[in-house]
Structure 1
Amino acid sequence: MEGELSIEVEDGGMNNLIKNWRGRREIMNKALAASAGGQDPEKAYERARKLARVIDGGDKVDEFLSLINDLNDPLLRYTDWSTVLNSRFEGNESLLHMAAATENDDILRLLVDYVGDHLITAQDDRGNTPLHWVARYGGSTGAAEMLIHRARGLPNVEDKNLLLRMKNKWGNTALHIAVHEGHANLVRYLLSEDLEPVYWKNASEKSPLYLALETYDSAVHEALFSHSLEPSRIEGLPPIHGAIIRSRHDLFDLMLKKNMELFAMTDSNGGNVFHLAAHLNHAWVFEFLRPETEYLTREPDMNGDLPIHIASKMGYVEHIEKLREVSLLPNGQGKNILHIAAKYGRVSVVRYILSHPILGKNPILGKMLNAADDDGNTALHLAAMHSQPAALIDLLRTDGILPSIFNNECLLAVDIARRRHQAEGYNIRHQLAYLALACSLAGKGPLGNQELLLLRAKARDEELSVVRSRKSMPSRDIVKDYINSRMVVATLVATVSFAAGFAVPGGFNGSDTASKDERGMATMLDNRMFQAFAICNTIAMFCSMTVVVNLIWAQTVDVDVLVAAFERTTLPLQIALPAMSTAFLTGVTLTAGKLPWLANTIFYLGLVFLLIISFAKLLGGPIFFEIFGHPLRRLTFWLILAYIYLGRVETYIYDDDDAKDNRREKKTFASPPVDVAGESRTDDSAKAKCEDALHPPSR
């Protein structure tokens, strides 16, 4: 093979360059012309691997050609160079892919002219074409130009921009990859050849414009956003929203300056930049609230919410402060910011609106207090509907709030709270919301407002039924059952109190140990806790006896007197039960006083339950235990655990002390101590008792 032509560029001139390339092409032409057909595929693959190693090593085109024009290789004339140049490797990439990944375009220039047409747009196992390899590794504008020019000249290809628009398995075109890798010159060239891929999204819903957020190359940003783009055609995630999420102040400002339509893009829910900033609490975005961007604060999303409604929903008062000057309109459901704050329980926003100094001066803010949405619900209705007791309390404490307003279903806020509580059972939030509203309407009639009689036709019949039910008396048998139940309780309290009065803690002074004045007196008479026991026991005794006497007398007359007696005996019995509990608590504490830990445990445990009994009496048993039942169960559980733990510790300590006392006692009985006179020291009183037992006095 003739390889005598010089392949060196002598002076760097254009003539020598052209001469060089003519020589290289002649070598390639002769090699292909001399190729022998039907070569063993393994031999062809081995030759291709050698060429691939030259490409991977970054060698110049001369080394690549030397393998093709090696005169010392006796098998060179039997090589099928067409098969070698079109070989595919393990990842289904070709020599053209490898040459596209290098920074030296000389080898690629040779291969582009001599490989088969199918390899120009061939994809490897990951779907990457040679142009994708250029964008990822080399970034050479010249390499991209050669590939695109050859691709546009392919026969039977209708789309001349096919190579530019081909996607890999991740949906990325060459432009996506060039932007991601930060090849600004290549991005600029690809956009000049075909602008269409700039709008396309990849498998991650990211267009090249959005991928620009992941690079800090200002040249790439300038290349992308300097074009006259159509934001409505951009697929996937909006670039302006990505700038907010990543806090890219520079790109945010660039998009605002380059293209206002790009700045005004919305997400899939119709939210613009101020919607997103209000949701994510990005205060820096509101620095761009300028006259040319104010209209965006009045643009609703698909839910009908403005940015100020999103800020109210999230509870960000500082954003409301900035947005209220330009947009205080209601949302698509007629809800203002107070409605939304009450609905979601954003107490900080509720307090800001209610306590704002311009509330009375601004007619829009002033009307928010009792304004109704499209369903007729005020802020009170929504707070009751969603069980927000904290917001309800602030609303009810505000002058001008009217809890007697009806919604479109002729329901007050208290009616909604009652229904929610009854429908969903025990829930402390439902209960507190209902109690707050019920207290606010106390004394305003069973229906809360007489206007209901005009709004709802059935209201009159309902009120009449309520009045009739109140005026109608229950039967005598039912009342007697209530009377008998209460009499049993009162009799039991009287019996226990009477017995405790003659079996006081500590007992009484006996005649043999006390003086004449102290005989029959209680041994703990001077103890303050005993005095409390005596007072409480006396109160419980006489209150319960009063109940018993009233109920016995009441059963002899008609049902009206029975009902009156039942009502009169409620207060004495309510006094007797805590008094008896207090007497029991003080008495047991006195008897356990020798063991401090046990006495303290009994006292504080009883004090807790005494408070529970008192609160249950004041609030009403069902309501109290419905509100505080779960915390009480947890408190009881922990008190029992603490008692068991302390009991085990004390038992262990006292068992150990008892064992020592037993050993000491055995030793004493075995060898009693002897005094100086040689007599054992025994108790004189014990001797006296023994002598009395042996020689009883004669009568």
Structure 2
Amino acid sequence: MRLQSLKDQISAEDHAQMGNDQLMSLEVSTYAQKGNIDEFLDFLSSGTHVSVIYIQKTPLQNTFLHIAASFGNKDLVQFFVHHFPGLHSKKNIRGDTALHVAAAAGHLAVVKILLKLYIDQVKKNSFLDVDIESNNERLVAKLNERVQVNDCGNTPLHEALMNNHGTVAMYLITTKIEDAFFVNKLGESPLYLAVEANNIDYVKNILIASSFHAHRHNLYEEVTKGKSLVHAAITSRNIALLKELTKMKTEVLSITDENEQTPLHCAASTNFAEGVDFILEKYKMDIFEKDSDGFLPIHYASKYGHIGILIKLLQYKLDAREFVNQDGQNILHVAAMYGKHDVVRYILKTPGLELLYNEIDKDGNTPLHLAAKKWHPNVVSCLTWDKRVHLKLLNNEGLTAMDTFEENMKGTVSYRQRLTYITLKSAGVGRAELQKKLKLKRQESAVTEPYNMEDWKDRVNTLMLVSILIATVTFAAGFTMPGGYKDSEPDHGMATLLNKLAFQAFVICDAIGMYSAILVTVTLIWAQLGDPTLTINPLGLALPLLGISLTMMSLAFMTAVYVVISRLVWLSYVVLILGLFFLTCLLVFFTPFTLPHTSENLIARYLSHYSISLLMLVSGSYFDPEVEDNQL
């Protein structure tokens, strides 16, 4: 009676204005959040028109019913759907009905109320007199025609599964099984989401519930809509799910995804060894089927560094040269291009794969060309140390691996590029004669072209600051001699420890360090003049001098400390050991940057190799190719 009197307040003029939405205040929305019907009626009785229930919405266009449903206020939801028809079909700014919101929030009681109302309305409009649980074909057809979707194409079942609300999902699956196969705008059905979530119980229930309706639709056609369920099961690395899907029909293993990748492609790329065995041993899938990029499954094992999968797939063909992609690249090409040094090392050590080492692709590139082109110093090192790899082969453009490396240089030389260059150079990978001439011409023409000093400004300034600091420190150390000075004649003012060998070493190292730092500073002043030649060449001289200066300063510190504590033997030895250790680290880390042209002498090459290997290990330069390529 009380509600009826309030509803009678809505005049014809109010009905005409119900299309004009009003912004719901925070105070008003709290009544829907609390879920107390009496309080809500008191709010309406306080002079507020009942029409606000229809016209007032939040900034997200949520109605009172949306709010009540999202907070699980079952009684208030029942109140709204009973007394305010049509409110349940209103959508917010995302296209969500109250049922979507309730399912996403996991409120089963509210979902039951709203779903019953929805189905009752479908039955009424379709003149059907059957229960919700009925398998009546006409009702099912009408329900399927009127699937509730939001702007993303998601049904309430999508929302329940995406938010991991199991009880709500199971109720929706058993009540409205057709929604389990409805594909959203991303090509994902609720069944796909269940497989992707690695939830075998949901998958079994969907397939079992669907089997009851096998007389009215083809289950195989339903499960093959949208994204591949088999690929999702493989990505989840769940062999039980994979077996469950293949029980329905083995043809699901022949389905490819949007990139034309077979399940075997997917299993190889995700390192799912159990899945590879299942697919190959039970269903004998073709290992030579290519995807849209022309890659075989074995190429993905090589690309992502999955050696175990690679070994399995190599067992099916003796001649590994048969495994080529659309660009004519074999597994060693792919591993080299993507920086997978573990795969490269395995191939180089495995008998029977020698024919891959110098194979060329359609562009004439060997694996060494591709590793150099993509700046993978670790792979270049593996290949160049193997004597069976030919270092001076030319591709179709007449380029060696060194030429390919230099052709792909862009802007400022990166750390990764420098290590690659040093590795190639120390291995004796030279340039083609034609490229030497072209490079000389480019260098000559570059001098006459406008030169951007901004690319070098920060580097020059940083090096100059370091050199000035070293010069200042070594200069000060020259006047604060360890051990002090003599006060008596005839040696007044002379250093107390003058005759100590360690002291003499300190003086020599300190002097060399200071003079080297001063030379670096002067050299870098020339680099500030703006002339391209006076910028590049002085930097090439400044780095080795700076390395000498840092080394001498470190030696000066070590000898100075040693000379004043030499009476305490154990401590002096500790200082010497620590000093030598960190001096070795300094040389290892700095040498590759101060010696741009490394020697091809075997001893020098070994030193360079271990130096670079340590640098790559410490700096994490066993690069993730996808991350590095995105950064570059």
Relative to the length of structure 1, the TM-score reads: 0.46
Structure index of larger Rg: 1
- The one-letter code matched in structure 1 to 2:330 is N
Q: 1:209 aligns with which of 191, 195, 205?
A: 191
Structure 1 distance, partners of 2:484, 2:159, is 94
**91, 115, 127: which is aligned to 2:97?**
127
Match of 1:284 in 2: 274
In the alignment, does 2:286 pair up with 1:268? no
For 1:175 and 1:608, the matched residues in 2 are separated by: 62
Alignment partner of 1:152 out of 126, 129, 138: 126
Q: Does 1:317 align with 2:307?
A: yes
1:42 maps to 2:7: yes
**Aligned twin of 2:396:** 408
**Residue 352 of structure 2 is aligned to residue 352 of structure 1:** no
* 1:599 Cα offset (Å): 10
Amino acid at match of 1:368: L
Q: Secondary structure at the match of 1:373?
A: coil
Shift of 1:603: 12
Tell me the distance in 2 between the aligned counterparts of 1:282 and 1:256: 17
Task: Name the counterpart of 1:389.
Answer: 377
Give the CA deviation at 1:115.
11
Q: 1:429 matched to which residue of 2?
A: 416
Task: Give the superposition deviation at 1:593.
Answer: 4.0
Does residue 222 of the first structure (1) align with residue 240 of the second (2)? no
1:120, 1:150 within 8 Å by CA — same for their partners in 2? no
1:398 to 2:392 alignment: no
CA distance in structure 2 between the aligned counterparts of 1:370 and 1:324, rounded to whole angstroms = 19
Cα distance in 2 for partners of 1:586, 1:460 equals 44
Report how far residue 463 of structure 1 moved: 12
Tell me how far 1:247 sits from its aligned partner: 4.0
Structure 2: 5+ residue stretches without partners: 11-34, 37-49, 57-62, 67-73, 129-137, 442-482, 513-547, 599-607, 616-632
Q: Once the two structures are superposed, what CA deviation does each residue of 1:575-613 show, in whole Å capped at 9, x if it has no partner?
A: xxx9xx99x989996899457699999999899889989
How do 1:548-559 and structure 2 match up within 5 A? Answer: none
Per the alignment, residue 45 of structure 2 pairs with none
Residue 167 (structure 1) aligns with: 148
Cα shift at 1:308: 1.8
* Shift, 1:274, TM fit: 3.1
Q: Contact between 2:506 and 2:560, CA under 8 Å: does it hold in 1?
A: no
For residues 54-76 of structure 1, what are the alpha-carbon distances to aligned partners after superposition, in whole Å with 9 as ceiling and x for unaligned? xx99xxxxxxxxxxxxxxxxxxx
The residue number in structure 2 matching 1:373 is 361
Q: Percent identity?
A: 25
SS in 2 for 1:434: helix
- Return the offset for 1:371: 1.0
**Alignment partners' CA distance in 2, 1:167 and 1:605:** 73
User: Is the 2:502–2:562 Cα contact (8 Å) retained in structure 1?
Assistant: no
Cα pair 1:375 1:407 within 8 Å, conserved: yes
Relative to structure 1, is the Cα distance of residues 349 and 139 closer, same or farther in structure 2, using a 3 angstrom cutoff?
farther
In 1, the alpha carbon distance for the partners of 2:174 and 2:167 equals 13
**Letter of the aligned partner of 2:192 in structure 1?**
Y
Distance 1:270 1:356 in 2: 31
Rate the CA distance shift 1:387–1:225 in 2: closer, same or farther, 3 A: farther
| 1:386 Cα deviation from its structure 2 partner | 1.2
Q: Aligned partners of 2:586 and 2:156: how far apart in 1?
A: 75
Q: Identify which of 262, 282, 285 aligns with 1:295.
A: 285
Question: How many Å separate the matches in 2 of 1:176 and 1:586?
Answer: 70
Structure 2 CA distance for aligned equivalents of residues 511 and 177 of structure 1: 95
Letter of the structure 1 residue corresponding to residue 420 of structure 2: A
Residue 227 of structure 2 contacts residue 257 of structure 2 at CA under 8 Å; is this kept in 1? yes
The Cα shift of 1:331 comes to 1.7
Residue 19 of structure 1: aligned partner? none
Structure-2 change in CA distance of 1:92 and 1:255 (3 Å) = same
**Number of aligned positions between the proteins:** 421
Q: Choose between structure 1 and 2 for higher RCO, CA contacts under 8 A separated by at least 6 residues.
A: 2
Please give the secondary structure, in 1, of the residue aligned with 2:255.
coil
Q: 1:265 touches 1:272 (CA, 8 Å); kept in 2? A: yes
Tell whether the 8 Å contact from 2:336 to 2:367 is kept in structure 1 after alignment. yes
- Inter-CA distance 326–136: structure 2 relative to 1 (3 Å threshold): farther
Instruction: Give the residue type in structure 2 aligned to 1:167.
Output: Q
Gaps of 5+ in 1: 1-34, 46-55, 58-82, 94-100, 360-364, 453-457, 466-504, 514-521, 541-577, 633-699
Distance 1:618 1:121, change over 3 A: closer
- 1:255 lines up with 2:245 in the alignment: yes
Deviations 1:23-46 (A, max 9, x none): xxxxxxxxxxxx9xxx7453799x
Give the AA of the match of 1:221.
L
Distance of aligned partners of 1:267 and 1:593 in 2 relative to their CA distance in 1, 3 Å threshold: same
1:305 partner SS? coil
